[in-house]
Amino acid sequence: MAPIRMQDLVKKYGDLTVIPSLDLDIADHEFVVLVGPSGCGKSTLLRVLAGLENIDGGDLYIGERRVNGVPAAQRDVAMVFQDYALYPHMTVRQNMSFALEMRNMDKKEIATRVERAAKLLHIDPFLDRRPKALSGGQRQRVAMGRAIVRDPQVFLFDEPLSNLDAKLRAQVRAEIKALSQQLRTTMVFVTHDQIEAMTMADRIVVMKSGIIQQVGTPEEVYETPANQFVASFIGSPSMNFVPVTGNGQLLTTSDGRTLPGLREFAQRVPAEGSAILGVRPEHLAVVPEDEAAFLANIDLVEPLGSDTLVHFKLAGNDAIARVEPDRRPRPGEVMPLAPVPGKAHLFDPASGAIIR
């Protein structure tokens, strides 16, 4: 129940700068998801927030308090670890009580809080078991329960779902989201899974090499990515990219095909200039052949039930289109496709920044 403010935050490991300079404000009660590929600094940032890592520059505030040198034990943050990090020699009840005992809380109050959190998470039947006797999903809940009982200012989650199987993951994902709405606590959630980010976040922070690429609501980062990296990272399957050149009137792919129907784009690319055209698989529509932007030679078909993924080559690049399953495309067939108007993006080939 506190906002977080990071100002010009720097984190180094020896000579290696993991986070060069980072500014981020997280509002009170906000559910923020830090997302990015492995090594992008998202977990490091979370550990910095927890107080498990020192800061090498800048300032960090939790609430009104500057916590730069404050040890983890005194920050009033709770963290759910990727491997759960339960205390193996303690029962579930002891695991959940431990932090409260460290704060010399009244025994009755501890018992009440543990019971309440256990009910909330449906782990009350296991309170007297050791972690060893629990399944992965149950351990995950205990780890969350351990955080909840503390009623901390900030909740931190370090990829807590990555050790669960797919079905359980979807379930716990929904539960965490529901929990966040119930608890109204500031939550920071780290994941490399963009689906988790999209489904849970109030705001998503996309990171790469320790630098924030974009901060925005799930809709914003999906609809208006700030650059090619964000565009490729958010969305599954990933956005299709194809290098194009422009003459002020028409866009031409590297294999010489012109792309009609993208005139509004063509004007943004300077004559003889080049750009990267990006279109999401779900924004490629099957159209009559004379309106087609590309004729896709289908290489591979992946039926998903709800829709079908069609793999093809677009000017030598791998591309995917998401089409209705009723079309029953077959490999070897030719499918006329065009970007849905207003849903394609242009990126600068050098910087990757979006061209508006």
Q: Which residues bind another protein (CB under 8 A)?
A: 50-52, 71-75, 77-79, 81-89, 98-99, 102-103, 130-136, 139, 146, 150, 163
CB of 73 to another protein, least distance (A): 5
Residue of 204, 248, 195 whose CA lies nearest to 225: 204
CB of 162 to another protein, least distance (A): 9
CB of 156 to another protein, least distance (A): 8
Environment class of 109 (CB within 10 Å of its CB; exposed 0-12, middle 13-18, buried 19+): exposed
Environment class of 314 (CB within 10 Å of its CB; exposed 0-12, middle 13-18, buried 19+): buried
If you count DSSP H runs as helices and E runs as strands, how many of each does the chain have, helices first? Answer: 9, 20
Closer to another protein at the Cβ: 164 or 269? Answer: 164
Environment class of 255 (CB within 10 Å of its CB; exposed 0-12, middle 13-18, buried 19+): exposed
Q: What gap in Å lies between CA 192 and CA 173, rounded to an integer?
A: 14
- Token pair for 87: 């205390």
Closer to another protein at the Cβ: 129 or 268? Answer: 129
CB of 38 to another protein, least distance (A): 17
- For 307-311, the CB contacts below 8 A with 24+ separation are 309/237, 309/281, 310/335
| Residue 203 CB neighbour total at 10 angstroms | 18
Closer to another protein at the Cβ: 162 or 247? Answer: 162
CB of 213 to another protein, least distance (A): 28
Q: What gap in Å lies between CA 33 and CA 46, rounded to an integer?
A: 10
Residue of 196, 345, 347, 219 whose CA lies nearest to 283: 345
CB of 153 to another protein, least distance (A): 12
Closer to another protein at the Cβ: 36 or 137? Answer: 137
Closer to another protein at the Cβ: 85 or 309? Answer: 85
Closer to another protein at the Cβ: 137 or 235? Answer: 137
